[in-house]
Structure 1
């Protein structure tokens, strides 16, 4: 499965644009990671706890999007876009991956 942010893939001509596919995931950041991030905010540096949660959420959203494309018989997903949204006041984050499922000419 080819997954790319571009609208074309070198060496592959699109035979069929199937439809838009997306994957979503919602994750919560726990209290201990919040405390660690607060300390990092004061003293500077990166928050490994938050970064790890963002990476896991991104991979989950991409995986869900790809699975939906496979179910449609797609061979690739083009024009992939990632979005990140904070939900509510409690440290919840939604990550969405969206793209166009396609089949390529053989």
Structure 2
């Protein structure tokens, strides 16, 4: 599956548009990761626990995006955009949304 942020694919012709597709993931941060990130915030530096959670959530959202496009008969997704949002009263939930247009490209 070709996945691109551009509206077209160089060297390919889009022959069919299958629709807008999304891949959403909501991920909670557990107490241990939150505690470790708090220490990083206090002492400075990068938070490996939060970075790992973000990478995993983004990978899952992209997987869902590709899976849903494939279910529509697409072989590519153009115009991909990834959005991040913090949810929950304590801000301990992360939502990652990947969206794009499922197409058939030849």
Which category describes the TM-score, using the shorter chain as reference length? over 0.9
Is 1:31 paired with 2:31? yes
Quote how far apart the aligned CAs of 1:76 are: 0.2
C-alpha distance in 1 between matches for 2:61 and 2:88: 20
Query: 1:46 corresponds to which residue?
Result: 46
Q: In structure 1, list runs of 5 or more residues that go unmatched.
A: none
Query: 1:86 corresponds to which residue?
Result: 86
C-alpha distance in 1 between matches for 2:70 and 2:17: 14
Q: In structure 2, list runs of 5 or more residues that go unmatched.
A: none
- TM-score for the superposition, normalised by structure 1: 0.95
Aligned length: 105
- TM-score for the superposition, normalised by structure 2: 0.95
Q: Deviations over 1:36-83 (max 9, x none)?
A: 111111111111100000000001011001000000000100000001
Q: Following TM superposition, where does structure 1 have runs of at least 4 consecutive aligned residues deviating by more than 4 angstroms?
A: none
1:72-83 aligned at under 5 Å gives the runs 72-83=72-83
Secondary structure of 1:55's aligned partner: helix
Q: Deviations over 1:5-33 (max 9, x none)?
A: 11111111111111000010110011111
